Amino acid sequence: MSKLAHAQWSSKMTFVLAAAGSAVGLGNIWKFPYMVGESGGAAFVLVYLVCIGLIGLPILIAEWLIGRRGQENPINAMADLAKRGGHFPAWVAVGISGVLGGFLILSFYSVIGGWSLYYTLGSVTGNFSGKDADGIGAVFTGMLGSPGLLLLWHTAFMVLVIGIVARGVTNGLEGAVRTLMPALVILMLVLVGYGITTGHFGEALAFMFSPDWGAVNGEVVLAAMGQAFFTLSLGMGIMMAYGSYLGEDVNLLSTARTVILLDTVIAVLAGLAIFPIVFANGLDLDSGPGLIFVTLPLAFGNMAGGTILGLMFFLLLTFAALTSAISLLEPAVEFMEERTSLSRVAATATCGIGVWLLGILALLSFNLLGDFLILGFNIFDLLDNLTSKILLPLTGLGAVVFAAWCLDRQGVAQELRLSGGAESLWVVVARYIAPLGVIAVFVNSLVG
Ligand code: PHE
């Protein structure tokens, strides 16, 4: 594919919005709170924040650098850049595992996107109003126990994703993200406000920010690092693919700061909205993937205007999930479109159907295949753990090592508009701190 024919973002703003749209999603609102709950609270939060700053930021920039240099799908970009620089052809593995990771993640991500759609509908039909914690819990377990229901909503979610990706990623994304992201932030603030009225906000604050360092072990640190990768959409070729549509005029460093700040604020707000409800109702901190689906409907059922707020919340959550899901499919589609003779629509349908099929196995883990374990995990947990804790960190490690050691240092400094001490700091972080950080977390989790 010729370089000239490769599309570019219509403006800098579109790029920022697309990157934020990819980063902010179920990872922030669904996954972050339940991982905090499972992993003992504040210690996890603080390790996570350190991982975001010292590992997430440099890797995000590394992926954009590689994508922008390559101007192609992640696999071709890595292959070409390695060849041009006279490096090992094996670097292409970074591109391949990225594309594969996106594919695997989307399969279980779409199942949760389906839950969000189902809850959107449930808010309209009054499925949650007047129910107590047990009633709300029963709605959730009822959904999990029904393969047909899960399949229906997983399918609906994938149809939406395929429909949007087939038309090309930039069309329509910009306007939607621009209005809906602020709406999401405002709604989260309203929910935090509700949390304050429960009288248990202080407990939630302490749980999230007052660490019990005794709770930290290798497993918690690995989970926190995995979450940092997941929430920033790193290690999956996505940010590389988005970088490949990027012109020279975008300041990568300040853009990365904006995206990371927004992503982190939304995750923390989600925690501050959810934990007061957990404490107020004596719910289980350790409820896992069901946490937001058994806490927030309780709040909506008990507050003035709760029906409409609940509807808005689940709509926005679905939307945030969609903008992330689009980005998960994009690298595989971009690759197929540029490498094969398939049209964009055919490439999207092929990848989308593959993801949909794998997603069916994931959703059956909640019912029919609940006892089918591989390495001690059901299929859903296996896909989640394999990607977040292994594939993403390894791919991200490859990307940052390549960007920091194999791309020419001067060119990168110019691209990042860094000089003097700031440039040296970048080199130290990207060459040593981030890669060694990832390796240390791996080793640490192996030894316990
Ligand atoms: N970052 C997204 C989220 O937090 C999920 C995602 C992961 C999207 C990986 C793309 C790639 O929900």
Assign residue 107 the CATH number of its domain.
1.10.4160
Which ligand 1 atom lies nearest to the CA of residue 232? 1
CA of 253 to the centre of ligand 1 (A): 20
Q: Which residues contact 408 (CB under 8 A, 6 or more apart)?
A: 85
CA of 102 to the centre of ligand 1 (A): 9
Pocket lining for ligand 1, CB < 6 angstroms? 22-23, 25-28, 105, 230-231, 233, 236, 238, 324, 327-328
**Is residue 149 within 8 Å of 143, Cβ to Cβ?**
yes
CA of 108 to the centre of ligand 1 (A): 12
Q: In the predicted model, is pLDDT for residue 126 greater than 90? A: no
Q: In the predicted model, is pLDDT for residue 108 greater than 90? A: yes
Percent of all residues in the chain with a pLDDT value above 70, rounded to a whole number: 96
Select from 328, 329, 395 the residue to mutate for testing ligand 1; criterion: most ligand atoms less than 8 Å from CB: 328
- Taking the C-alpha atoms of residue 434 and residue 427, their distance in angstroms, rounded to an integer, is 10
| Tokens coding 239 | 């940010």
Q: In the predicted model, is pLDDT for residue 413 greater than 80? A: yes
Q: In the predicted model, is pLDDT for residue 56 greater than 60? A: yes
Which ligand 1 atom lies nearest to the CA of residue 327? 10
Structure confidence by residue, pLDDT tens digits, 358-385? 999 999 999 999 899 998 899 999 999 8
Of residues 351 and 171, more confidently modeled: 351
Which ligand 1 atom lies nearest to the CA of residue 263? 4
CA of 138 to the centre of ligand 1 (A): 28
CA of 305 to the centre of ligand 1 (A): 31
- Banded model confidence at residue 174, pLDDT cuts 50, 70, 90: low
Q: In the predicted model, is pLDDT for residue 444 greater than 80? A: no
The pLDDT value recorded for residue 5 is 45
Q: In the predicted model, is pLDDT for residue 339 greater than 90? A: no
**Is residue 177 within 8 Å of 16, Cβ to Cβ?**
no
Strand partners, 374: 377
**Residue whose C-alpha is closest to residue 141's, from 350, 287, 258:** 287
Structure confidence by residue, pLDDT tens digits, 12-46? 777 888 889 899 999 999 999 999 999 989 999 99
- What single-letter DSSP state applies at residue 7? -
CA of 304 to the centre of ligand 1 (A): 32
* Long-range contacts of residues 121-124, Cβ cutoff 8 Å, at least 24 apart: 122/297, 122/314, 123/297, 123/300, 123/307, 123/310, 123/311, 123/313, 123/314, 124/307, 124/311
- Taking the C-alpha atoms of residue 177 and residue 59, their distance in angstroms, rounded to an integer, is 24
Select from 48, 108, 231 the residue to mutate for testing ligand 1; criterion: most ligand atoms less than 8 Å from CB: 231
The pLDDT value recorded for residue 102 is 87
Q: In the predicted model, is pLDDT for residue 4 greater than 70? A: no
Across the chain, mean pLDDT equals: 89
Q: How many domains does the chain have?
A: 1
Q: In the predicted model, is pLDDT for residue 115 greater than 70? A: yes
Of residues 35 and 179, more confidently modeled: 35
| Protein residue closest via CA to atom 6 of ligand 1 | 233
CA of 241 to the centre of ligand 1 (A): 14
CA of 105 to the centre of ligand 1 (A): 8
| Tokens coding 230 | 């997941």
* Residue 103, domain extent: 3-447
Which ligand 1 atom lies nearest to the CA of residue 320? 12
- Taking the C-alpha atoms of residue 240 and residue 251, their distance in angstroms, rounded to an integer, is 15
**Is residue 176 within 8 Å of 319, Cβ to Cβ?**
yes
Select from 324, 328, 383, 395 the residue to mutate for testing ligand 1; criterion: most ligand atoms less than 8 Å from CB: 324
CA of 88 to the centre of ligand 1 (A): 30
The pLDDT value recorded for residue 170 is 62
Does the model's pTM come out above 0.85?
yes
| Protein residue closest via CA to atom 9 of ligand 1 | 233
The pLDDT value recorded for residue 242 is 83
**Is residue 104 within 8 Å of 94, Cβ to Cβ?**
no
Of residues 398 and 245, more confidently modeled: 398
* Long-range contacts of residues 346-354, Cβ cutoff 8 Å, at least 24 apart: 348/162, 348/165, 348/166, 349/162, 349/166, 351/103, 352/158, 352/161, 352/162, 352/165, 354/103
Select from 52, 97, 233, 240 the residue to mutate for testing ligand 1; criterion: most ligand atoms less than 8 Å from CB: 233
Poorest-pLDDT segment among 2-11, 265-274, 302-311: 2-11
Strand partners, 377: 374
The pLDDT value recorded for residue 169 is 61
